[in-house]
Amino acid sequence: MKPITRRNFLKVAGISAAAVSLPGCAGQFMTQKPKRKPNIVFIMTDDHASHALSCYGSKINKTPNLDRIAEEGMRFDNCFCTNSICAPSRAVILTGKYSHINGKIDNTPVPFDGSQQTFPKLLRKAGYQTAMIGKWHLRSEPTGFDYWNVLPGQGAYHNPVMIEMGERKKYDGYVTDIITDKAIDWIEQRNNDQPFCLLYQHKAPHRNWQPDEKHADMYKDRKIPLPETFNDDYATRSDAAREQEMTIEKHLRVPYDTKVKPPEELSGQELKEWKYQRYMEDYLACVASVDDNVGRFLDYLEEKGLAEDTVIVYTSDQGFYLGDHGWFDKRFMYEESLRMPFLVKYPGLIKPGSVNKDIVVNIDFAPTFVDMAEARIPNDMQGRSLMPLLAGDTPDDWRTAMYYHYYEYPAVHQVKRHYGIRTKRYKLIHFYNDIDAWELYDLKKDPNELNNIYGNPQYSDLVTKLKSRLEDLREKYGDSDELTREVINRRAKKG
């Protein structure tokens, strides 16, 4: 099946004054060829779990403005990251290449190599104005942008310093509001004769969670229900799960907000639940501020007549544990941190309210943006354009499994190095380095991943098949044990 690229779509869409649909596609297509390529806005947050969006079924909080993107576009239910930690995911998104290829394998001080090929550079060559505003978090100056204004490192929630084209400036106010203001300001001042690509990236809801005044008390009087796996005992899993240090008890020994101390009479389970409530109140309040600001940004595009010519993408750098398995943070290949929220609005191409269940990976983002810009996708990008999926058509040869590799150990939270494969139904994980352990989950029977069935004789044939597929993926993406040792040694020397 020939993939449906934007270029092919536009040729078909320009044939008639009546709306037409390509065979097998769900979208209601544009009636005539637009005057120019679409603007692209890539909105990314930090540590926003998909299960903290109401469009993904959250009953705890409402995200009406983020839901607008899903309602007017497409929600991806099986979007995954290749390495569930902030800086590596950002590098993967920029390059369309796995961590062992782009060189950013973890959050250590080794900077991202900005001299390499990225999708903003390719879009500039294709005639786009490019801008990066907000959280960069790659320990290097942004490259490939006509304009950039970024937070240093993690940045601050209140009265943040930002670095604008190399010059440090301090702003008064709340960081989520300020990043949105700067994004709108740049669009106002852009060259109207060119399409634009804007990376509009928030610090929130990364810890330490500090809501703004407007949202600070939003959840104070609500009892936030515990996740089903909150008291997980890791009984069937390997030592990797038991030896991590990202449980609420281990990390939140005292509240991060030192102005509020736990009642002295609390201990054990009651103290654990008290800390969870505090953590979720502030986490969700930070999400609410993001939602309000995304709504303000979307309203601005509509008021300026830009909405119909602009692709909107929303995601986070990975998922996050919201008390799931008794954890916060990310890193593990278990579902809550592996899964990314991914919403796309593409007027004229995507049928509003569409849902896609194909396996997509963050290596696919870069080639998709290049394809949207009608530029050639470089052969060395390891992902695939999502344009056919956006049009409602899944190619016959679309992936049925994805590959994951996490490297950052020993380090904060002590999560063991591991790699693995996820298919539509199964997940096989190999923990290695100072451990040698395997875990297998049947995601249909056990969606919460509580029952490791790796040693069950009934699944021995499946294990053999999955290990073979895993090795095929490692070969396809150029990964190996030898390369892992080389990459980690190289990082140690630079660090």
CATH of the domain at 293: 3.40.720.10
pLDDT of residue 2: 39
In contact, 486 and 105? CB cutoff 8 Å: no
pLDDT bracket for residue 7 (50, 70, 90): very low
- pLDDT band, very low/low/confident/very high, at 478 (cuts 50, 70, 90): very high
Query: How much of the chain is helix, strand and coil, in % rounded to 5?
Result: 35, 15, 50
pLDDT for 269 beyond 70: yes
Confidence band, pLDDT 50/70/90 cuts, at residue 32: very low
pLDDT (tens digit, 9 = 90+) per residue, 434-446? 999 999 999 999 9
Contact (Cβ atoms closer than 8 angstroms) between residue 75 and residue 343:
yes
Residue 168 lies in a domain: yes
Q: Beta strands of 390-433 (E only): which ranges? A: 401-406, 418-423, 426-431
- CA separation for the pair 117, 139 (Å, rounded): 17
Across residues 476-492, what is the average pLDDT? 93
The mean pLDDT value for 368-387 works out to 98
Averaged confidence pLDDT in the chain: 92
Structure confidence by residue, pLDDT tens digits, 119-153? 999 999 999 999 999 999 999 999 999 999 999 99
Evaluate the omega torsion of the peptide bond into residue 362 and state whether it is cis, within 30 degrees of 0. Answer: no
Q: What is the pLDDT of residues 60-100, one digit of tens each?
A: 989 999 999 999 999 999 999 999 999 999 999 999 999 99
pLDDT band at 259; cut points 50, 70, 90:
low
Which pLDDT belongs to residue 254? Answer: 46
**Residue 248 confidence (pLDDT):** 83
Per-residue pLDDT averaged across 196-206, rounded?
98
- Backbone φ, ψ for residue 312 (5° rounding): -115, 125
Residue 47 lies in a domain: yes
Distances (CA, A) of 396 to 137, 169, 358, 371, 399: 37, 51, 11, 19, 9
Region of residue 192 (left: phi > 0; alpha: psi -120 to 50; beta: else): alpha
Return the minimum-mean-pLDDT range out of 22-36, 89-103, 105-119, 477-491: 22-36
Q: Is residue 349 part of a domain?
A: yes
Closest-CA residue to 244 (of 481, 376, 418, 91)? 418
DSSP annotation of 327 reads: B
* φ, ψ at 494 (rounded to 5°): -75, -35
Cβ neighbours of residue 223 under 8 Å, at least 6 residues apart? 277
Residue 255 has pLDDT above 60, yes or no: no
Averaged pLDDT, 248-260? 60
pTM of this prediction?
0.92
Specify the number of domains making up the chain.
1
Output 28 or 449, whichever has higher pLDDT.
449
Confidence of residue 6 (pLDDT cuts 50, 70, 90): very low
Query: b/e map of 37-66 (b: 16 or more CB within 10 Å)?
Result: bbbbbbbbbbbbbbbbbbbbebebbbbebb
pLDDT tens digits, 149-181 = 999 999 999 999 999 999 999 999 999 999 999
| Residue 17 placed within a domain | no
Distance, CA of 320 to chain centre:
10
Whether the pLDDT of residue 8 is over 60: the answer is no
pLDDT band at 251 (very low <50, low <70, confident <90, very high): low
Q: Is residue 425 part of a domain?
A: no
Whether residue 369 has pLDDT greater than 60: yes
Let me know if residue 330 belongs to a domain. Answer: yes
Phi and psi (nearest 5°) for 371?
-65, -40
Residue 188 lies in a domain: yes
pLDDT tier at 490, thresholds 50, 70, 90: confident
Buried b (16+ CB within 10 A) or exposed e, 438-467: bbbbbeeeeebbbebbbeeeebeebbeebe
Q: What one-character-per-residue DSSP string does 454-489 give? A: TT-GGGHHHHHHHHHHHHHHHHHTT--HHHHHHHHH
Say if CB 147 and CB 165 are below 8 A apart: yes
Checking if the pLDDT of 16 tops 90, the result is no
Q: Is residue 30 scored above 70 in pLDDT? A: no
Q: Average pLDDT in the 319-337 region?
A: 97
Rounded percentage of the chain residues whose pLDDT exceeds 90? 86
Residue 416 has pLDDT above 50, yes or no: yes
Domain span at 102: 39-398
What is the reported pLDDT for 33? 40
Binned at pLDDT 50, 70 and 90, residue 261 comes out as confident
Specify if 444 maps to a domain.
Answer: no
pLDDT of 429 higher than 70: yes
Average pLDDT (447-454) is 98
- Give me the pLDDT at residue 253, please: 45
